[in-house]
Amino acid sequence: MDLNQTISDQVFIVMPAYNEAVNIEQTICEWHRVVEKTGPHSRLIVFNDGSSDNTFAIMQQIKQKYPQFIPITKLNTGHGATCLYSYNYCIEAGIEYVFQTDSDGQTNPEEFWRFWEKRKDYDFIIGTRNKRKDGLFRIITSRILQFIVYVIFGKNIKDANTPFRLMKITKLKPILNLIPLNYFLANVMISLFVVKRSESYLRIPITFQKRKAGVNSINLRRIIVIGYNAIGDFYTIKQNTKELIYGSNSEIR
């Protein structure tokens, strides 16, 4: 692991957070160690998505303990929209890399280094969750999304929504232009467009643990709603982006 990075190698590690008061301090502590090792110009940024608990209050209280941590709060728009918000924040900041993960403590910070070491070789490095321990409903949701993406776009993309991805900002920016603002399955669409546009990418297996604390928001009713909404939204995006990606005489098959 090369810790002698130049400013051009700076990374912003971004996380959406919603009602994560029980997890947020430990998560920030663990990931701040990673940020420190990547260099003084890197940052850990947690975007509080309008939590109804004291998530943001905790973030503010501990800010002084972690000099490379930036707490940000915003109105509630959902996980995908908050990811988009964080990516655009990074674009405005003019950094080179963004790494996205979640704030619930289910991912392993030490696995970041396998991604960081390959940053010069690929523009997108996306995790694939193996031996998942996050519950049956979330696994079912991922499988449903994989099936819908395959039926509509013709690409079999395993675990397209993985919250563990290192992306080069200059390559991510044009993809974001294809995704509607506040879109709720932002990472799924990024994974799809990376494949469809033949971007330079790598998939790396990662571990995914049970939530350390807090409540899993996914249930059977939520799965049905996500699947139903995804079908309509995917078809809309397919029609709206067909010419942008492939030209006026091409079709997404």
**CATH number assigned to the domain comprising residue 111:** 3.90.550.10
How open is the CA angle 115-98-241, to the nearest 5 degrees? 105
pLDDT, tens digit, for every residue of 72-83?
999 999 999 999
> Rounded distance, CA 193 to CA 176, Å?
10
Strands 164-168 and 69-74: unpaired
Cβ proximity of 207 and 131 under 8 Å = yes
> Rounded distance, CA 216 to CA 193, Å?
28
Q: What is the pLDDT of residue 133?
A: 64
- Cβ atoms < 10 Å from Cβ of 90: 23
Number of domains in the chain: 1
pLDDT, tens digit, for every residue of 161-201?
899 999 999 999 999 999 988 888 899 999 999 999 999 99
Counting residues of the chain whose pLDDT is more than 90, the rounded percentage is 62
Tokens of 199: 């971007």
39 within some domain: yes
Give residue 36's domain range: 7-246
pLDDT, tens digit, for every residue of 6-58?
455 799 999 999 999 999 999 999 999 999 999 999 999 999 999 999 999 99
42 within some domain: yes
pLDDT, tens digit, for every residue of 82-103?
999 999 999 999 999 999 999 9
> Rounded distance, CA 166 to CA 210, Å?
22
118 within some domain: yes
Going by pLDDT thresholds of 50, 70 and 90, the confidence category of residue 216 is low
16 within some domain: yes
253 within some domain: no
220 within some domain: yes
Pick 240 or 198 by higher pLDDT. 198
The stretch 52-69 carries a mean pLDDT of 97
Spell out the SS3 assignment of 188-206: HHHHHHHHHCCCCEEEEEE
1 within some domain: no
3-state helix, strand, coil in the chain (%, to 5): 45, 15, 40
26 within some domain: yes
